[in-house]
């Protein structure tokens, strides 16, 4: 049996959004496996106090962000970076940096660790960030993030990514070894939640056929609205359940479309299984872009937690995995294909011709405990000096 490790995560923020669900769920799963996990990060609200919290067995050391955020984004604030330096003085077995930002990177670089890991889960330079920033703040953010994104893969003993796209890119930038660590879900506790109960708990209609979208990446959200509009005359009970986006995304919609949308706002993480169980088809539209090829949206797996089939664009890691899962419909590339393939998927589900989600198979692949076991193995290999280029956790599919 592998001995317990002292693991330090270096992060930019500690609120429940985006990459938080990646590092927190990995940390909690590692803690359940007997490891000592501590997170060092910033609270983006300057008025909040410096504090220590325990969340799901993980100890969080939280420092407030400095003011001056109009000039420096909290993720790349130089004073935040200096403020985090004392975290580097604590000895550990593994120092794991999440995302390419200045607030956490210097403390990670100076960490008194036996092995240093870097986790890369989004392409920022050439992906998410604007190509032509105009303000000083935007130019500063782009410049610092771009430099770190290019340099960090070679600085780490091992790079973890969420996709093969980023794994290959990390290798081209000098990464010694890489592992693809996908995003997943927590194993459900107790009996399975029925769709009827889930809808009741969320205030959704019992007799509707629900398309569902959750998340904060909104660039292709109009694809979901267009699929709803193209299909609603054929299916009078068709509706769209929406969680994550602000209510303002409905402002410019035709009243006939907005009347078919149940906007749930931002729901807590504990209600995600209910949302997944309440919908009939999970939507994951992705424009074919470097950013989308780099990422692995957490909702891909979370939809399946509710035994809900998924409609996804044939882009990036979702396409790689979806080809081996009959309950995932890949729509090809582009909005037109998304709509036409989506309409056929709706018909197939209503006619009872759609394959069921094999949740039992997925529990050994997409639970955070299973994913953390892959990461744990890489930690021990790094400490033993026996790392080899590994397979991903889902190569068995």
**pLDDT at residue 1 above 60?**
no
Which residues are CB-neighbours of 283 under 8 A, at least 6 positions away? 211, 212, 213, 223, 224, 227, 310, 311, 342
Predicted pLDDT of residue 387: 54
* Same CATH fold assignment for domains 6-184+367-384 and 195-360: yes
Across residues 1-19, what is the average pLDDT?
Answer: 89
Percent of residues, the chain, with pLDDT higher than 90: 75
Q: Summarize the confidence of residues 191-195 as an average pLDDT.
A: 85
The whole-number pLDDT of residue 245 equals 87
Q: Is 256 exposed, middle or buried (0-12, 13-18, 19+ CB in 10 A)?
A: exposed
Q: What per-residue confidence (pLDDT) applies to 392?
A: 52
Reported confidence tier of residue 338, pLDDT bands at 50, 70, 90: very high
Q: How do the domains of the chain map onto residue ranges?
A: 6-184+367-384, 195-360
To the nearest whole percent, how much of the chain has pLDDT over 70? Answer: 96
pLDDT of residue 129: 67
In this predicted structure, the answer to whether residue 339 has a pLDDT above a threshold of 70 is yes
Contact (CB, 8 A) for 100 and 124: yes
CATH class belonging to 195-360: alpha beta
Give the CATH fold of the 6-184+367-384 domain: Rossmann fold (3.40.50)
Q: What are phi and psi of 329, to 5 degrees?
A: -95, 120
Q: How far apart are CA 372 and CA 389, in angstroms?
A: 17
Q: Is 365 in contact with 391 (CB distance < 8 Å)?
A: no
pLDDT in tens, 278-292: 999 999 999 999 999
Q: Contact 274/294 with Cβ under 8 angstroms?
A: no
Residues in the chain: 397
User: Taking a C-beta distance cutoff of 8 angstroms, is the pair 262, 284 a contact?
Assistant: no
Higher pLDDT, 219 or 283: 283
Question: pTM (2 decimals)?
Answer: 0.91
Residue 77 has pLDDT above 70, yes or no: yes
Q: Are 179 and 390 in contact (CB under 8 A)?
A: yes
| Residue 222, pLDDT above cutoff 80 | yes
Tokens 């959704």 -> residue: 204
* CA angle, residues 216, 75, 159, in degrees to nearest 5: 85
């Amino acid at each position: 049996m592998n001995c317990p490790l002292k693991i330090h995560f270096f992060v930019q923020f500690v609120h429940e959004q985006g990459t938080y669900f990646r590092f927190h769920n990995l940390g909690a799963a590692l803690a359940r496996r007997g490891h000592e996990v501590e997170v060092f990060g910033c609270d983006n609200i300057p008025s909040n106090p410096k504090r220590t919290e325990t969340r799901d067995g993980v100890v969080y050391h939280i420092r407030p962000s400095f003011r001056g955020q109009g000039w420096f984004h909290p993720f790349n604030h130089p004073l935040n970076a200096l403020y985090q330096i004392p975290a580097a003085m604590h000895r550990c077995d593994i120092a794991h940096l999440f995302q390419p930002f200045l607030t956490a990177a210097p403390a990670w670089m100076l960490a008194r660790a036996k092995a240093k890991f870097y986790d890369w889960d989004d392409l920022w330079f050439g992906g998410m960030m604007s190509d032509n920033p105009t303000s000083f703040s935007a130019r500063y953010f782009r410049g610092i993030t771009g430099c770190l994104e290019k340099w960090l893969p070679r600085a780490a003993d091992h790079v973890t990514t969420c996709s093969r796209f980023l794994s290959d890119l990390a290798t081209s930038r000098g990464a010694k070894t890489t592992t693809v660590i996908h995003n997943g879900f927590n194993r459900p506790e107790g009996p399975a939640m029925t769709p009827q109960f889930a809808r009741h708990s969320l205030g959704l209609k019992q007799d509707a056929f629900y398309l569902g979208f959750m998340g904060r990446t909104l660039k292709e959200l109009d694809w979901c609205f267009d699929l709803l509009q193209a299909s609603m005359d054929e299916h009078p009970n068709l509706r769209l359940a929406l969680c994550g986006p602000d209510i303002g995304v409905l402002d410019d919609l035709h009243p006939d479309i907005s009347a078919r949308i149940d906007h749930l706002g931002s729901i807590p993480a504990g209600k995600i299984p209910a949302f997944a169980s309440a919908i009939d088809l999970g939507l994951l539209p992705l424009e074919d872009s470097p950013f989308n090829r780099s990422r692995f949206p957490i909702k891909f797996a979370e939809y399946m937690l509710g035994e809900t089939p998924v409609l996804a664009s044939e882009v990036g890691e979702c396409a790689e995995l979806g080809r081996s899962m009959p309950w995932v419909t890949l729509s090809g590339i582009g909005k037109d294909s998304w709509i036409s393939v989506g309409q056929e998927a709706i018909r197939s589900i209503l006619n009872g011709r759609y394959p069921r989600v094999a949740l039992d198979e997925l529990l050994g692949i997409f639970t955070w405990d299973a994913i953390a076991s892959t990461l744990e193995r890489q930690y021990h290999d790094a400490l033993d000096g026996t790392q080899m280029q590994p397979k991903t956790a889902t190569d068995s599919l």
